[in-house]
Amino acid sequence: MLKPLGDRIIVTVDKQEEETVGGIVLASNAKEKPQTGTVVAIGTGRTTDDGKVIPVSVKEGQTVMFDKYAGSEVKYEGETYLVLHDKDLMAVVD
């Protein structure tokens, strides 16, 4: 099991459907779209200088939206995950 440290969040990234016109795959748009994923593990939060821990803003199981280039891809037991910092998450998809 992977347990993220600090304010890190581990997500499985949703597959993005490629836009097709009559079965032909279109080249990606110039403006990069953010991605969505499902939170599989969360860190305990960021520790401030007072020793206080600020919890992360999402929970396991939530669908979150984040910038395409945010985070680090990690592989663990054959699965691919993305490790993000809490501040990299833009929105929760409800």
Q: Which of residues 4-33 bind a second copy (CB under 8 A)?
A: 4-6, 8, 10, 31, 33
Q: For residue 20, what are the β-bridge partners?
A: 25
**Residue among 38 and 92 whose Cβ is closer to a second copy:** 92
Q: How far apart are CA 93 and CA 90, in angstroms?
A: 10
- Single out the residue of 28, 59, 76, 79 in contact with a second copy (rule: CB under 8 A): 76
Binding residues for a second copy (CB under 8 A): 1-6, 8, 10, 31, 33-34, 41, 47-52, 54, 57-58, 64-65, 67, 72-76, 83, 87, 89-94
